[in-house]
Amino acid sequence: MAGPAGRLDAVLVCGGRWHDFDHARLRLLELLGEHPRVRTTVYQDYDRLAALDNADLLVTYTCDVRPGPAQQAALARFVERGGRWLALHGTNAVIEPPAGSGSRVFTTPRLIGELARVLGSQFLAHPPIEPYEVLVTRPGHPLVAGIGPFTVTDELYVCELHGKLEVLLHAEYTGPCRGFAEGDTAALDDAPRPVLYLKRHGLGEVCYFTLGHCRGRYDMQDLGVDDTGRVDEGPWETPEFLTVLRRCVERVVGVRSPAQERAGT
């Protein structure tokens, strides 16, 4: 559903808690800016019903941004009518920090309703941030063609999964996720952890990529850490991550990448 002269209207939602959204926003705008017919409007939350109703593509990089019932319906409607949604990192995360001075345990309440079924997952927990190996589930798919297993420093997401997913990248992890209320329960499931997958919904598609963690020095102040003393760019300097992310942007824009041309898809 392109506009006059092939113009595509993109909505970028980038905001939330505990991450360097300035960094992620800039990098995502650079990737979208590689496509001259894409015109992008940027928001920090989902309270933009008219923009969603008129958008051709949606890119989200959030953490604990909670769409209300009207926003959930608008997001589902966007995909159902054929919209393409690139959901990154904590888009599926609702996280309640510990209250008071008791045990520092985070909970992940189910507050996004049916939107979890549209996205295909909801975040439950992650082990401590450290390097881990990402494996290629479907080597022949154009989004990951030519990519071998690679190591990345990021949050390894353990999620509650919904519906049929076409998993393209995954990680293997069965250890505990300390600090999360459901960390031990989730760890009992030894299924591969999806890192990149496609999920059909109605006429449209969600492309979910769980990688992308980044954090600046001042992004944890609401948890009592005034200055972390370091900048954490996570996978944003990892060549394989950047290659796959660029292909994901191309997919939601509707551009056939060289890998797609070779695969004939």
Compute the half-sphere exposure of residue 115: CA atoms within 13 Å on the CB side of its CA.
26
pLDDT, tens only, 68-117: 999 999 999 999 999 999 999 999 999 999 886 666 899 999 999 999 99
pLDDT at 256: 60
Alpha-carbon span 222 to 199, nearest angstrom: 34
What pTM value is reported for the model? 0.94
pLDDT over 90 (residue 205): yes
**Spatial distance between the Cα atoms of 36 and 51, rounded to a whole number of angstroms:** 19
> pLDDT per residue over 49-64, tens digit each?
889 999 999 999 999 9
Q: What is the pLDDT of residue 174?
A: 86
Backbone torsion region of residue 194, taken as left when φ is above 0, otherwise alpha when ψ lies between -120 and 50, otherwise beta: beta
Under DSSP, the state recorded for 59 is E
How many beta carbons lie within 10 A of that of residue 144, not counting itself? 21
Residue range 252-265: mean pLDDT, rounded: 63
